[in-house]
Amino acid sequence: MNVKRILILGLDAVEYDLVEEWDLKNLKQKEYGKTTLPIYAGEEPNTRIIWPCFICGCMPKDMGYVTSKVFPKPIQYFANTFSPIIKSTFNPQSDMPEDITVRQENVKLKAIMKFYEIFKKLNMARNPKREDIKASTMFDDDPRRISLHIPVYNEWLPDIAFKTIEAIEDKTYRSIFNINLLNEFKNKSNEVFNWLDKKDKWDLFMNYFWFLDGVQHVYFNNPKKIAKYYIMADEFIKKLNDRLDDDTMLLIVSDHGQKKGIHTTHGFYSVNKKLGLKNPKLIDFRKTIEELLQK
C-alpha cells in the first residue's frame, strides 16, 4: 500500500449504528467499524480525555490525567492511580438514564460533580491544558505534521460547545445554535480543502469537528434533524475523497458514539485503504499511522 500522506478527520460523536442504519456510503469507506475506547470500567467517554489519548497512543493514566478536571501534582497522582478503581466499583454509568434532560438527577454523577465543585472552590481543580498531556504525540516537533482544533492539545472546545445546555433548555436559542453548528462545519471544511491545496507542506494533517456531538445532544429526540447533519458530513466526505490522490489515506475517527443524547462506549473509524483491522483500539492508530509514514 502506497501512502505518502495521511489526512485525519476527528468527527466527534459519530455513532456507528446510525451510519449503518442510514447507510451513509461515504462514511462507510473501504474499511470501517467500531473502535474500543481508552476508558476504564464505569466511565462515560470524555472528549477532553479521549482525543489526547488518541494522538498520544496510550491510556489516560499514561497520557497524563484520567479525570475531566486536573489537580495539583500530589492529588493528580492519587487520581491517576485510584480513580479507575473507584469508578469501576462506584460505576456512575450503571444506572445512567437514557434521557439527557434527567441525567443531572443521577445520584452517583451528582456526587462526582459535588467533588469537583469543592476542589474548584479551593482553586485545586481546573480544566486540562496542553501542558497536562505528559506523553508524546504524533504531532510533536515535526513541521510536516499539522493539527487543528484538537481538544486540549490545540484548544479547549469550540465556543458553541458551551451553549449546549442553553440550547437543550431554551428552544428559542436553537436557531442561533444551529447557525453556529453550521458555521463550525463550514469553516473547518474549508480549512481541510485549503490545506489540501498545500499538500506539499504536510504528510500528516488532522482537523477536529464538533458539530455532530452538538446536534445529537440538543436534538436527541429528533432523528430527522440528526440525520440531516449526518448526511451533510457524508456529502463532505464524498467531495473530499473526489479530490484526494491515490497516495493520500483518509482516516475518519470519533471519540465515542451517541444515542438519545448520551455518549456510547464505542467509537467509529473509517479509512479509504484496507488496513485489515477488526474492532481496533483507538489508541493503536498512532502506531499504524507512524508505521505507514515511515514506509
Encode pLDDT of 258-295 as tens digits: 998 889 999 999 999 999 998 899 999 999 999 999 97
Q: How far apart are CA 35 and CA 280, in angstroms?
A: 5
In this prediction, residue 236 carries a pLDDT of 98
Give the residue-averaged pLDDT of 222-248.
Answer: 97
In this prediction, residue 86 carries a pLDDT of 62
Confidence of residue 95 (pLDDT cuts 50, 70, 90): very low
- Selected residue with higher pLDDT from 85 and 272: 272
In this prediction, residue 103 carries a pLDDT of 53
Confidence of residue 91 (pLDDT cuts 50, 70, 90): low
Give the residue-averaged pLDDT of 17-33.
Answer: 98
- Angle 174-196/211-218 helices, nearest 10 degrees? 160
Domains in the chain, ordered, with CATH? 5-294 (3.40.720.10)
Nearest to residue 213, comparing CAs of 250, 168, 279? 168
Residue 97 pLDDT exceeds 50: no
E strands, the chain, where? 5-11, 31-36, 145-148, 204-209, 248-253, 257-259, 262-264, 266-271
Q: Which residues pair with 263 in a beta bridge?
A: 258
Quick one: three-class SS letters along 14-79? CCHHHHHHCCCCCCCCCEEEEEECCCCCCCCCCHHHHHHHHHHCCCHHHHCCCCCCECCHHHHHHH
Residue 148: strand, helix, or coil: strand
27: which 3 cell numbers?
462514511
Write down the mean pLDDT value for the chain.
Answer: 89
